[in-house]
Amino acid sequence: MLTLYTNTATPNGMKVILLLEELGAEYKTVAIDFSKDEQFSEAFLTISPNNKIPALEDEQADGSRVTLFESGAIMLYLAEKTGRFLNLDLKKRAETLVWLFWQNASLGPMLGQAHHFAVFAPERVDYALERYTKEAQRLYRVLERRLQESAWLGGDEISIADFAAYPWTHPSRHAAQGIALKNFPRVEAWLARIEARERIQAAYKKYPPKAPLEAKHRHG
Ligand SMILES: N[C@@H](CCC(=O)N[C@@H](CS)C(=O)NCC(=O)O)C(=O)O
C-alpha cells in the first residue's frame, strides 16, 4: 500500500498525485498541516528528515516499508517500480532524468521564490521581485526551447519529467510568476496537451488549485 504525505494542492505534492493518478495506483493520502507545524513532528521527520512534503511510504508484502522524501526521488521510484513513464533505453532514460532534475533543481525552486515574493512577502522587495521574475521568464524560455525540439520534456513520450513540471507551470500560477503565456506558444500547447488528459483532470478535481493566485506585488 502506498501512503503519500502531502499538503493540499502545493505543486510539489501535486507532482506525485498526478503520477499516482496517471498510474491508476491505489494510494491513500495523509495531510500534513503546516499551520500546526505537523511537518516538524518526530513521526513525520522519520519519513521526511528535511521536514517537507511530499513523502511516500510503500509497505512491502513482507511488512517492511520503503520511505522516501524529495519529489524527484519519489517519482523515479514509482516509475521504476511500475515500469511506466520512464523509458529504460539508456539514452531516453538519461534525457528524461535531465529534465526531471532540471525541474527539481531550477524550475521549482526559482518559481517558488517568484511566487513567494509576489504573493506572500509582507512588503514589496524590489530587488527580489526583479531577480525572481526575470529568472521565471528565463526558465520559461528554456522550457519553450526544449519544447521546440520535442513534444515532451523527456523526448517523444510523456514522462515523469512532464508530470513534475506541470504543477509549477499550471495556468493558475502564471499571474504570480509574471508570465504572459502568449510569449511561450510551445509551452502553451504542451500545457493544453497535459490538461486534456482525463487523469490529470481527475487529479485537479480531487485537489483543486488555490486559485486565483493574484500577485500582491509585481515587478516593473
Ligand atoms: N525539494 C523538495 C521541496 C519540497 C517542498 O518545498 N515542500 C514544501 C511545500 S511545496 C513544504 O513542505 N514546506 C514546508 C516547510 O518548509 O516547512 C521536493 O521536491 O520534494
pLDDT of residue 220: 67
pLDDT of residue 100: 98
Reported as a single tens digit per residue, the pLDDT across 109-159 is 999 999 999 999 999 999 999 999 999 999 999 999 999 999 999 999 999
**CATH 1.20.1050.10 is the classification of domain 90-197:** yes
Q: In what order do the strands lie in the sheet with 2-6?
A: 27-31, 2-6, 55-59, 65-69
pLDDT of residue 67: 98
pLDDT of residue 210: 73
CA separation, residue 44 to residues 12, 38, 143 (Å): 17, 7, 34
Atom of ligand 1 nearest to the CA of 11: 10
Sequence spans of domains, the chain? 2-82, 90-197
pLDDT of residue 161: 98
Atom of ligand 1 nearest to the CA of 40: 17
Residues paired with 59 in a beta bridge? 65
Q: Is 136 exposed, middle or buried (0-12, 13-18, 19+ CB in 10 A)?
A: buried
Mutate to test the pocket of ligand 1, among 4, 12, 102, 113 (most ligand atoms within 8 A of CB): 12
Low-confidence residues of the chain: pLDDT under 50: none
pLDDT of residue 215: 75
Note if the bond before 167 is cis, omega within 30 degrees: no
Q: How far is the CA of 156 from the centre of ligand 1 (A)?
A: 30
pLDDT of residue 138: 98
Question: Could you give phi then psi for residue 61, rounded to 5 degrees?
Answer: -60, -35
**CATH 3.40.30.10 is the classification of domain 2-82:** yes
